Amino acid sequence: DKAGHKHFMAKEIAEQPGVIGQALSHYLTDEGEILLPGDGIDFSSIDRISMAACGTASYACMAAKYWFEQIARLPVEVDVASEFRYREPPIPARTLALFVSQSGETADTLAALRFCEGKAQSILSVVNVPESSIARESDLVLPIYAGVEVGVASTKAFTCQLTVLYLLVLKAAKDRGVLSEAALADHISALRGLPSVINTALEQNTAMRDAAYKLSTARDVLFLGRGHMFPLALEGALKLKEISYIHAEAYASGELKHGPIALVDEEVPVVVFAPRDVLFDKTVSNMQEVMARKGKVILVSDAEGIAEARDGVWATIEMPKIADALTPILYAIPAQLLAYHTAVAKGTDVDQPRNLAKSVTVE
């Protein structure tokens, strides 16, 4: 049932404020304490985290790496699951192995998990399907409570994965004694505000549809982001590729001048994710390099960022302001809706894109 939406993907995008609220309520007490299922995990006995996942779930891992390292001061390695075990990575004792999967059945992620059995101190998974194989084989399972996701393009599962991972980061920071009570309370209150901020972002639908119309005639599109906006750029490019069939690539903004800028001309739209944070000026200077080569920039930022950098850009999409650390969850909305409206404009099969399956159970 599409609940009045044209596609499951549109419905699932719209559900995000609600399901993120659900996920939060499962893990947070009224007093703002983080509760993990069962005996939980004590991060004071963990020295490093090794994460593996595929596709969108791997971008959730990449965003979480920035959080674990900056907020909890824990070193993290992220692999695409299909590469993990063949690399035969050493797994030192005191490693937490962490797997993220919407379906819980992805063959490569499951194989990466099995590689860690008997080596890692604990195996934890973040899944949407608690009865899945990945969940069954984990020491601790954190469900994301996104509800059934039908669209092949993952949307609400991604933002719920990020939400649960963020809570896990806060728990890790607390266990490791690197976050004061006051700072923790600030993080939690920002998290509780997330559903309403995401609602505000969804209200920018028309701006995202207009920008998507412009994208729909492109042959190639680039996505740029720095810091924890880099995984979001990857997610935006993947969404666009899978449902609109437009060739899209994502780069860390700073990498542009090391090669990809050679691709830029007046035919190439470049989507730039740049909230007005500490990295904003750097990203804007990369964006200006794009415009100097006549690239057409779609700038996704907040009001302050757009006011500062709008000169010469092709289109803007304004996001509400949110705590810097939470921008990866918020900027998922434009990543999803740009792809969605582009696909609708092109008339492709949004929910069942060609050549793709919802759950990839072969290597």
What does 51-68 look like in DSSP terms, one character per residue?
A: EEE-HHHHHHHHHHHHHH
Residue appearing with tokens 């006051």: 182
CB of 169 to ligand M6R, least distance (A): 19
**Cα(243)–Cα(353) distance, integer angstroms:** 6
Nearest to residue 270, comparing CAs of 289, 40, 322?
289
CB of 109 to ligand M6R, least distance (A): 5
Are 306 and 316 in contact, with CB atoms under 8 Å apart?
yes
| Nearer to ligand M6R (CB atom), residue 154 or residue 286 | 154
One of 10, 12, 13, 55 touching ligand M6R (CB under 6 A): 55
**Contact present, 154 and 102 (Cβ < 8 Å):** yes
Give residues 270-329 in contact with ligand M6R (rule: CB under 6 A): none
**Shortest reach from residue 111's CB to ligand M6R, in Å:** 12
Catalytic residues: 358
**Closer to ligand M6R by Cβ: residue 16 or 103:** 103
Of residues 136 and 257, the one with the C-beta less far from ligand M6R: 136
- Of the pair 300, 332, the CB lying nearest ligand M6R is at 332
d(CA 116, CA 114): 5
What are the b/e assignments for 81-102, b being 16+ CB within 10 Å?
bbebbeeebebeeebbbbbbbb
Q: How far apart are the first and last CA of the chain?
A: 31
Position among 9, 152, 287, 317 found at the interface with ligand M6R (CB under 6 A):
152
Query: Quick one: which of 16, 50, 102, 253 contacts ligand M6R (CB under 6 A)?
Result: 102
Cβ pair 121, 46 in contact under 8 A: yes
16 sits near ligand M6R (criterion: CB under 6 A): no
Is 244 one of the binding residues for ligand M6R (CB under 6 A)?
Answer: no
**Position among 133, 138, 154, 286 found at the interface with ligand M6R (CB under 6 A):** 154
The yes or no reply on residue 342 touching ligand M6R (CB under 6 A) is: no
> Taking CB under 6 A as the rule, does residue 360 contact ligand M6R?
yes
Q: How far is the CB of 127 from ligand M6R (least distance, A)?
A: 8
Q: Looking at 56, 125, 283, 316, which residue binds ligand M6R (CB under 6 A)?
A: 56
Which residues, 6 or more positions from 100, have their beta carbon under 8 angstroms from its beta carbon?
51, 53, 57, 58, 60, 61, 109, 125, 126, 127, 161, 165
Phi, psi values for residue 271, rounded to 5°: -90, 125
Which lies closer to ligand M6R via its Cβ, residue 54 or residue 191?
54
The residues binding ligand M6R (CB under 6 A) are 54-57, 101-103, 106, 109, 152-154, 238, 242, 359-360
